[in-house]
Amino acid sequence: MTAVQEAQAQPVVAPPTPATSRRATLVDLFRFVGVQRGFVGVVLGLGVLTAATTLAQPALVGRVLELVADGEPVGRLLVVLAAVVVGGGVLSGVQHYLVQRTAEGAVRASRRRLVAHLLRLPVAEIDRRRTGDLVARVANDTSVVRSALTQGFVESIAGVFTLLGAMIAMLLLDPMLLLVAFVVALVAVACVAAVTQQLERSSHGLQRAVGELGTATDRALRSVRTVRAANATENETARVVSRVDHAWKVGLDVAWVTALVSPLSSIATQVCFLAVLGLGGWRVATDHLTVAELVQFILYLFLLILPLGRIVGTVGAVGEALGGLSRIGEVLDVPEEDEGATRLAFAGARPNPDLALVLENVSFRYDDGPAVLDRLTFAVRRGQRVAVVGPSGAGKSTLLNVLVRLYDPVAGVVKVDGQDVRERTRSQVRAGVGYVEQDAPVLAGTLRDNLTLAVPATDAECRTALADVNLLDVLDRSPDGLDAQVGEGGVMLSGGERQRLALARALLARPTTLLLDESTSHLDGLNEARVRDLIDSQSAGCTLVVVAHRLSTVVDSDVILVMDRGRLVAQGTHEELLRTSRLYRELARTQLVR
Residue 537: how many other CB atoms lie within 10 Å = 9
Segment 463-484 mean pLDDT: 86
Beta strands in 87-193 (DSSP E): none
Between these two residues, 219 and 503, which has the higher pLDDT value? Answer: 503
| Phi/psi of residue 470, nearest 5 degrees | 60, 50
DSSP character at residue 478: -
Q: Is 199 exposed, middle or buried (0-12, 13-18, 19+ CB in 10 A)?
A: buried
Residue 183: how many other CB atoms lie within 10 Å = 11
Contact 509, 434 (CB under 8 A): yes
Q: How far apart are CA 539 and CA 510, in angstroms?
A: 9
Residue 86: how many other CB atoms lie within 10 Å = 11
pLDDT value at residue 414: 92
Contact 543, 513 (CB under 8 A): yes
Q: How far apart are CA 93 and CA 78, in angstroms?
A: 22
Residues in CB range of 56: below 8 A, 6 or more apart: 84
pLDDT value at residue 561: 94
pLDDT value at residue 208: 79
pLDDT tens-digit readout, 53-111: 877 888 788 788 777 877 788 888 888 888 888 888 888 788 778 777 777 777 888 88
351, pLDDT greater than 90: no
Beta bridge partners of 29: none
* Angle at the Cα of 593 from the Cα atoms of 588 and 594, rounded to 5 degrees: 150
Cα–Cα distances in Å, from 65 out to 57, 60, 74, 258, 294?
Answer: 12, 9, 9, 41, 11
Q: How far apart are CA 413 and CA 8, in angstroms?
A: 9
- The DSSP H or E segment spanning 248 is helix 233-285
pLDDT tens-digit readout, 403-423: 988 888 999 999 988 888 888
Segment 260-289 mean pLDDT: 77
Average pLDDT, the chain: 78
Least confident range from 141-155, 320-334, 356-370, 544-558: namely: 141-155
Beta bridge partners of 376: 362
Helices (H), 469-592: 472-477, 495-508, 525-538, 551-554, 574-580, 582-589
Strand order in the sheet with 355-365: 371-381, 355-365, 411-416, 419-420
Least confident range from 40-44, 176-180, 417-421: namely: 40-44
- The DSSP H or E segment spanning 261 is helix 233-285
Contact 395, 564 (CB under 8 A): no
Residues in CB range of 531: below 8 A, 6 or more apart: 469, 470, 500, 503, 519, 520, 523
Residue 376: pLDDT band (50, 70, 90) is very high
Query: How many alpha carbons lie under 13 Å from residue 224 in its C-beta half-sphere?
Result: 7
234, pLDDT greater than 90: no
Q: Of 225-234, 349-358, 408-417, 487-496, where does the model show the most confidence?
A: 408-417
Q: 143-179: b or e for each residue (b if 16 or more CB lie within 10 Å)?
A: ebbbbbbbbbbbbbbbbbbbbebbbebbeebbeebbe
Between these two residues, 315 and 424, which has the higher pLDDT value? Answer: 424
Percent of the chain scored above 90 by pLDDT?
A: 11
Query: How many alpha carbons lie under 13 Å from residue 335 in its C-beta half-sphere?
Result: 7
pLDDT value at residue 349: 47
pLDDT tens-digit readout, 551-575: 877 888 899 999 999 999 999 999 9
Q: Is 378 exposed, middle or buried (0-12, 13-18, 19+ CB in 10 A)?
A: middle
Q: Taking the model in full, what pTM does it have? A: 0.65
Please provide the size of the chain in residues: 594
Q: How far apart are CA 285 and CA 108, in angstroms?
A: 58
Residue 210's nearest CA partner among 323, 124, 305, 113 is 323
Domains of the chain: 26-332 (1.20.1560.10), 355-589 (3.40.50.300)
Residue 1: pLDDT band (50, 70, 90) is very low
Residues in CB range of 265: below 8 A, 6 or more apart: 188, 192, 309, 312, 313
pLDDT value at residue 38: 64
Torsion angle in degrees (nearest 10) through CA of 506, 509, 511, 514: 0
